[in-house]
C-alpha cells in the first residue's frame, strides 16, 4: 500500500474514532465522560461495605447511583437584583417552554430547583447533549446557558460544591480566606455574599483566594473577574504554609486573622466518580493514606489564621473517613478545646445527609485491615499514622461530637458524594496562645501576640516547645521562592498624581471618591489601565508585598484612550468597573430608554440621531416600563463627535438585549 493511501486510511480511522468517542460522550450526558470505561471496582465496594458509611439495605442503590451520569446543575451568579432578573428570564422564557415538551415520544423532565439552595438560585437538569440537539426549543435553551456561562451570569457548578460557602454564613464585613480555591466556583459564591448589598461599592469584607498551582491561579482569576469585584485578591502559595499577613489597625501593625475560612482540601475524589469516571479504575486506599497528612497540615494552618469566634468549613469530595472524620478528630485533639464542631443541620433545610461516623478502620493498599494504631507493625509506620484512627478514649470521642459532620451520599438527592464539617474557634490555638511561630526574618518584637494580649506579657511555653523556640533569634531571612510567571507590580497612585485632575473634572467625581484605592501595574511609563481595590485590600497589599505572591487583585475601572485627550480626558470608563465607579460619577451620564439600549447594543457606532429625543437631549430620566428589566443596568460607552458607542462585552450585550 502506498504512503498516501496509508495516510488516508489512518486519517479515516482517526475520524471514525473521534466520531465514536463523541457519540459516547453525547450518550453519557453532560460532563459524564467516556461511556466505554467500565464502572466497576471490587476493592472500592469491599472497602465501603466494610466501613458501613451507607445505611443498611441501601448499598446497591448507592452503587447504582454512582454508576449513573451526574445531572447538570447550574447556579445563577451575580449580585441580588441581577440574579433575580436572570432567574425570572429562565423561569418565564425557557423553563415554561420545555415543561410539556416531548422528544421522540418521551416527555422531557423540566429543570428543577435544588430544594436546599436559597431563593431558587440553583437548578438541576437531566438533559443530555443528544436530547438538546433534537429540539429547537432545547437548543435555544442550551445556547442561552452557554452565553450566560461565558458572561458569568450562570455557573455550571456541581450541586454539592455549592454547600461549603453557604455554611460559612458570610456577611459583607467578613475577611475571608479560600485556601485551595481553584478553579473558583466556590470563590465566586464567597464574592457574591460579600457584595450582598449592591448599593455599597466597597464592602468592608474581602476574599483572598489561594491556590498552590500557579497555572490554576489564572483559571481562578478568570472565574473571579466575571464578578467585577474590588474585594478579591488571588495569591499563589502552598496552603499548608500560607504566610501570615499583617495590616495597619489604628496606626499599629496587627496580624490579619480571618473571620471565615474555606478549607476545601485536595482529596482522592471518590465522591466524583459520577463525572470523573477515571477514578473507577484508579481508586485505591493508598490515595487516602498519602493525602491524610497534607490535609491535616492545611487544616491546621487554616485554624491558626482563623479569628477567635470565626468559622472554618473543612470539606472534601471524598467519602473516605481517613480524609474526613480522621482529619477533623486530629484537629480537635490538637486544639485542646480551642475548636468546636458546629451543628450545621439547621442551616440548609432540605439537604439530606448522613451524620459523621465515630468508628472506622484503616486498610492498606494490599487489603490488610487495622482497627487500632497498636496493631500496626513498625514497618508500616511511615505509611499509616496514629491520626488515621478514631480516638480510643470514649469520653474524648464523645466530646468531639463527630456526628455533627455531614456526609452527602449520591443516591439520596441525585448528587455527587461529599463531606463537610463546620468548625468554630473558641480560643487561640494552644501552641499560639501567646506568640505565633516566627517566620523567616521576623524577630519577637516584630510580631504582636497571637491572642491580642500585651506584648509585655510573659511568654507561656507551649507543651513540647521550649521558651527559647519562641524567644531565640530566627535564622537569617530568606528570599521568598516564587514559581510560575513573574507578575507586574501593584502600584498605588497618590492623591496628587497628575492624571487625577483631568479625570476628576471630566467625570465630576464626588469629593468622597477614594483616590488612594486606585492602582496600576507599572512603575514606569504611561499608565494604560487603572484598577481599584477596597480600602481593606489596599491595607493588606501595602503591608505584605514582600510576604506573598499576588497574581491578581482589583477591578479595572479606566482604560487609556488617547483620542479622548481632545475632549479633556485620556481615560475612558471600563464596563468591568462601572458598578464600582457609578456612585462617584456626577457628570456625563445619559438616562436612556429600552429602545436606546437596543440601538447601542446592536449597532457598532450608532449616530447620536439614532437615539430617542430624550436620550439625545440628555434631559428626561428613564421611566418604569413594565416590559423593561426590573433591575438597574449601567452601560459604559464613549461619545465621539457624531456617534456614541457602548463598551460592553458581546455576551453581556446579548443578555441585556434578550431582556429588553
Q: Which residues pair with 125 in a beta bridge?
A: 72
Count of other CB atoms within 10 angstroms of residue 200 = 12
CATH architecture classification, 159-356+398-425: 3-Layer(aba) Sandwich (3.40)
Lowest mean pLDDT among 24-38, 413-427, 544-558: 24-38
Lowest mean pLDDT among 39-53, 217-231, 282-296: 217-231
* DSSP SS3 for 548: coil
Question: Where are the extended beta strands (E) located within 171-213?
Answer: 175-178, 206-210
Ramachandran category for residue 376: left, alpha or beta (phi over 0 → left; psi -120 to 50 → alpha): beta
Rounded to the nearest 10°, the torsion over CA 53, 56, 62, 63 is 100
652 a known binding residue?
A: no
Closest by CA position to 416, among listed 157, 85, 120: 157
Angle, alpha carbons 559-562-564 (nearest 5°) = 85
Query: Between the ranges 200-204, 259-263, 381-385, where is the mean pLDDT highest?
Result: 259-263
183 a known binding residue?
A: yes
| Backbone phi, psi, residue 449, to 5° | -55, 140
Q: What is the DSSP string of 275-342?
A: T-TTHHHH--HHHHHHHHHHHHHHHHHHHHTEEEEEEEEEEES---TTTTHHHHHHHHHHHTTSEEE-
356 a known binding residue?
A: no
Instruction: Kindly tell me if the per-residue pLDDT of 627 is higher than 80.
Output: no
186 a known binding residue?
A: yes
181 a known binding residue?
A: yes
Question: Which is higher by pLDDT, 587 or 475?
Answer: 587
Instruction: Kindly tell me if the per-residue pLDDT of 473 is higher than 60.
Output: no
Q: What pLDDT is attached to residue 565?
A: 77
Instruction: Kindly tell me if the per-residue pLDDT of 211 is higher than 90.
Output: yes
Q: Residue 468 — very low, low, confident or very high, per pLDDT cuts 50/70/90? A: very low
Instruction: Kindly tell me if the per-residue pLDDT of 168 is higher than 60.
Output: yes
Instruction: Kindly tell me if the per-residue pLDDT of 223 is higher than 70.
Output: yes
**Each residue's pLDDT tens digit, 39-56:** 999 999 999 999 999 999
C-alpha cell at 500: 487625577
What is d(CA 134, CA 131) in angstroms, rounded to the nearest whole number? 5
Q: What pLDDT is attached to residue 182?
A: 94
Mean pLDDT of 247-260: 93
Instruction: Kindly tell me if the per-residue pLDDT of 299 is higher than 80.
Output: yes
Mean pLDDT of 538-565: 91
CB 245 within 8 A of CB 176: no
Lowest mean pLDDT among 103-112, 217-226, 283-292, 337-346: 103-112
Q: Residue 564 — very low, low, confident or very high, per pLDDT cuts 50/70/90? A: confident
Instruction: Kindly tell me if the per-residue pLDDT of 595 is higher than 50.
Output: yes
Instruction: Kindly tell me if the per-residue pLDDT of 133 is higher than 90.
Output: no
93 a known binding residue?
A: no
CB 477 within 8 A of CB 446: no
Ramachandran category for residue 122: left, alpha or beta (phi over 0 → left; psi -120 to 50 → alpha): beta
Question: Which is higher by pLDDT, 585 or 524?
Answer: 585
**Each residue's pLDDT tens digit, 368-419:** 999 999 999 999 999 999 999 999 999 999 999 999 999 999 999 999 999 9
CB 175 within 8 A of CB 205: yes
* DSSP SS3 for 118: helix
H helices, E strands: number in the chain? 22, 27
Q: What is the DSSP string of 210-278?
A: E-S-HHHHHHHHHHHHTT--TTEEEE---GGGPPP-EEEETTEEEE--EEEEEEE-----GGGTTT-TT
**Each residue's pLDDT tens digit, 74-122:** 999 876 667 888 888 888 888 887 777 777 777 777 889 999 999 999 9
CB 358 within 8 A of CB 401: no
What is d(CA 45, CA 60) in angstroms, rounded to the nearest whole number? 10
Q: Residue 607 — very low, low, confident or very high, per pLDDT cuts 50/70/90? A: low
Q: What pLDDT is attached to residue 142?
A: 82
184 a known binding residue?
A: yes
Q: What pLDDT is attached to residue 602?
A: 79
Instruction: Kindly tell me if the per-residue pLDDT of 641 is higher than 90.
Output: no
CB 326 within 8 A of CB 390: yes
Count of other CB atoms within 10 angstroms of residue 383 = 14
Q: Residue 21 — very low, low, confident or very high, per pLDDT cuts 50/70/90? A: very low
Mean pLDDT of 562-573: 83
Question: Which is higher by pLDDT, 595 or 394?
Answer: 394
What is d(CA 219, CA 632) in angstroms, rounded to the nearest whole number? 29
Rounded to the nearest 10°, the torsion over CA 90, 94, 99, 104 is -140
Contacts of 15 (CB under 8 A, 6+ apart): none
CB 299 within 8 A of CB 57: no
Q: What pLDDT is attached to residue 463?
A: 32
Q: What pLDDT is attached to residue 412?
A: 97
What is d(CA 310, CA 452) in angstroms, rounded to the nearest whole number? 15
| % residues pLDDT > 90 (the chain) | 57
CB 414 within 8 A of CB 71: yes
Mean pLDDT of 67-73: 91
Instruction: Kindly tell me if the per-residue pLDDT of 588 is higher than 90.
Output: no
What is d(CA 167, CA 418) in angstroms, rounded to the nearest whole number? 14
| Backbone phi, psi, residue 391, to 5° | -55, 140
Going 446 to 449 to 452 to 453, the CA torsion angle's sign is: negative
Q: What pLDDT is attached to residue 523?
A: 82
Q: What pLDDT is attached to residue 26?
A: 34
Q: What is the DSSP string of 589-618?
A: -----HHHHHHHHHSSS-BGGGS-HHHHHT
CB 493 within 8 A of CB 519: yes
What is d(CA 68, CA 80) in angstroms, rounded to the nearest whole number? 34
264 a known binding residue?
A: yes
Q: What pLDDT is attached to residue 636?
A: 67
CB 235 within 8 A of CB 482: no
What is d(CA 228, CA 467) in angstroms, rounded to the nearest whole number? 47
- pTM here? 0.82
Question: Which is higher by pLDDT, 232 or 109?
Answer: 232
Task: Write b or e for each residue in 533-561: b if 16 or more Cβ atoms lie within 10 A of its Cβ, otherwise e.
Answer: bbebbbbbbebbeebbbbbbbbbbbbbeb
CB 500 within 8 A of CB 530: no
C-alpha cell at 290: 498519602
| % residues pLDDT > 70 (the chain) | 78
**Each residue's pLDDT tens digit, 517-530:** 999 998 888 889 99
Query: Between the ranges 307-316, 436-445, 589-598, where is the mean pLDDT highest?
Result: 307-316
C-alpha cell at 366: 494490599
The domain ranges of the chain are 71-156, 159-356+398-425, 588-659
Mean pLDDT of 268-287: 95
Q: What is the DSSP string of 437-457?
A: PPPTT--GGGS--TTS--TTS
Cis check: omega of the bond before 503, within 30 degrees of 0? no
Q: What pLDDT is attached to residue 347?
A: 95
CB 384 within 8 A of CB 376: yes
Which of the residues are catalytic?
317
Mean pLDDT of 311-340: 98
Q: Helices 136-151 and 650-658 sit at what angle, rounded to 10 degrees?
A: 130
Instruction: Kindly tell me if the per-residue pLDDT of 483 is higher than 60.
Output: no
C-alpha cell at 332: 480537635
- Residue 497 exposed, middle or buried by CB count within 10 Å (0-12, 13-18, 19+): middle
Q: What is the DSSP string of 493-510?
A: PPTT-TTHHHHHHHHTB-
Mean pLDDT of the chain: 82
* DSSP SS3 for 130: helix
What is d(CA 596, CA 132) in angstroms, rounded to the nearest whole number? 34
Q: Residue 72 — very low, low, confident or very high, per pLDDT cuts 50/70/90? A: confident
The DSSP bridge pattern shows strands 175-178 and 571-573 to be unpaired
Straight-line distance from the first to the last Cα atom of the chain, in angstroms, rounded to the nearest whole number: 63
Amino acid at each position: 500500500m502506498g504512503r498516501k493511501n496509508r495516510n488516508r486510511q489512518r486519517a479515516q480511522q482517526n475520524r471514525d474514532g473521534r466520531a465514536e468517542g463523541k457519540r459516547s460522550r453525547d450518550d453519557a450526558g453532560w460532563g459524564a465522560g467516556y461511556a466505554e470505561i467500565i464502572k466497576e471496582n471490587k476493592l472500592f465496594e469491599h472497602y465501603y461495605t466494610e466501613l458501613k458509611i451507607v445505611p443498611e439495605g441501601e448499598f446497591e442503590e448507592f452503587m447504582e447511583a454512582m454508576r449513573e451520569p451526574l445531572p447538570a446543575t447550574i447556579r445563577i451568579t451575580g449580585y441580588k437584583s441581577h440574579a433575580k432578573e436572570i432567574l425570572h428570564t429562565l423561569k418565564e422564557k425557557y423553563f415554561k417552554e420545555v415543561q410539556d415538551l416531548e422528544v421522540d415520544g418521551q416527555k422531557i423532565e423540566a429543570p428543577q430547583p435544588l430544594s436546599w439552595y436559597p431563593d431558587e438560585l440553583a437548578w438541576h437538569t437531566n438533559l443530555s447533549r443528544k436530547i438538546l440537539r433534537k429540539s429547537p426549543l432545547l437548543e435555544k435553551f442550551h445556547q442561552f446557558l452557554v452565553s450566560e456561562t461565558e458572561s458569568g451570569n450562570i455557573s455550571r457548578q456541581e450541586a454539592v460544591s455549592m454547600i461549603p460557602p453557604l455554611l460559612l454564613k458570610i456577611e459583607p464585613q467578613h475577611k475571608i480566606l479560600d485556601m485551595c480555591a481553584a478553579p473558583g466556583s466556590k470563590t465566586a459564591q464567597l464574592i457574591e455574599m460579600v457584595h450582598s448589598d449592591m448599593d455599597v461599592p466597597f464592602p468592608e469584607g474581602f476574599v483572598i483566594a489561594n491556590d498552590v498551582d500557579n497555572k490554576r491561579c489564572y483559571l481562578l482569576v478568570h472565574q473571579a473577574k466575571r464578578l467585577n469585584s474590588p474585594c478579591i485578591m488571588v495569591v499563589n502559595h502552598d496552603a499548608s504554609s500560607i504566610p501570615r499577613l499583617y495590616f495597619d489597625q489604628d496606626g499599629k501593625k496587627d496580624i490579619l486573622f480571618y473571620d471565615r475560612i474555606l478549607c476545601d482540601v485536595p482529596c482522592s475524589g471518590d465522591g466524583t466518580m459520577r463525572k470523573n469516571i477515571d477514578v473507577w479504575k484508579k481508586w485505591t486506599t493508598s490515595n487516602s493514606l498519602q493525602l491524610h497528612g497534607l490535609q491535616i497540615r492545611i487544616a491546621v494552618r487554616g485554624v491558626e489564621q482563623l479569628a477567635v469566634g470565626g468559622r472554618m468549613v473543612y470539606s472534601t469530595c471524598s467519602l473516605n473517613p481517613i480524609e474526613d472524620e480522621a482529619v477533623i478528630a486530629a484537629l480537635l485533639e490538637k486544639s485542646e478545646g480551642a475548636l468546636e464542631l458546629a451543628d450545621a443541620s439547621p442551616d440548609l433545610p432540605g439537604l439530606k445527609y448522613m451524620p459523621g461516623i465515630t468508628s472506622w478502620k484503616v486498610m492498606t493498599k494490599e487489603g490488610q485491615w487495622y482497627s487500632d494504631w497498636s496493631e500496626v507493625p513498625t514497618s508500616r509506620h511511615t505509611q499509616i499514622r496514629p491520626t488515621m484512627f478514631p480516638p480510643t478514649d470514649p469520653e474524648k470521642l464523645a466530646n468531639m461530637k463527630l456526628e455533627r459532620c455531614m456526609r452527602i451520599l449520591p443516591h439520596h438527592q441525585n448528587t455527587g458524594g461529599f463531606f463537610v464539617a463546620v468548625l468554630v474557634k473558641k480560643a487561640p490555638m494552644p501552641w499560639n496562645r501567646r506568640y505565633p511561630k516566627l517566620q523567616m526574618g521576623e524577630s519577637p518584637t516584630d510580631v504582636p501576640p497571637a491572642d491580642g494580649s500585651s506584648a509585655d506579657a510573659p511568654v507561656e511555653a507551649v507543651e513540647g516547645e521550649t521558651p527559647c523556640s519562641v524567644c531565640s533569634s530566627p535564622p537569617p531571612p530568606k528570599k521568598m521562592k516564587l514559581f510560575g510567571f513573574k507578575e507586574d507590580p501593584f502600584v498605588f497612585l497618590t492623591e496628587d498624581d497628575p492624571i487625577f485632575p483631568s479625570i476628576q473634572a471630566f467625570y465630576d467625581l464626588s469629593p468622597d471618591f477614594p483616590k488612594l484605592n486606585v492602582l496600576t501595574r507599572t512603575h514606569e511609563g504611561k499608565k494604560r489601565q487603572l484598577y481599584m481595590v477596597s480600602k481593606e485590600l489596599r491595607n493588606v497589599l501595602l503591608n505584605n508585598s514582600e510576604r506573598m505572591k499576588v497574581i491578581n487583585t482589583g477591578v479595572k475601572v479606566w482604560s487609556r484612550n488617547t483620542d479622548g485627550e481632545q475632549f479633556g480626558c485620556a481615560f475612558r470608563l471600563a464596563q468591568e468597573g462601572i458598578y464600582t465607579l457609578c456612585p462617584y460619577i456626577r457628570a456625563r451620564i445619559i438616562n436612556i430608554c429600552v429602545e436606546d439600549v437596543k440601538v447601542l447594543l446592536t449597532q457598532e457606532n450608532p449616530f447620536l440621531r439614532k437615539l430617542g429625543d430624550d436620550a439625545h437631549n440628555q434631559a428626561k430620566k428613564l421611566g418604569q416600563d413594565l416590559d423593561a428589566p426590573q433591575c438597574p443596568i449601567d452601560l459604559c460607552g464613549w461619545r465621539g463627535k457624531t456617534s456614541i458607542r457602548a463598551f460592553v462585552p458581546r455576551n453581556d450585550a446579548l443578555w441585556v438585549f434578550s431582556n429588553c
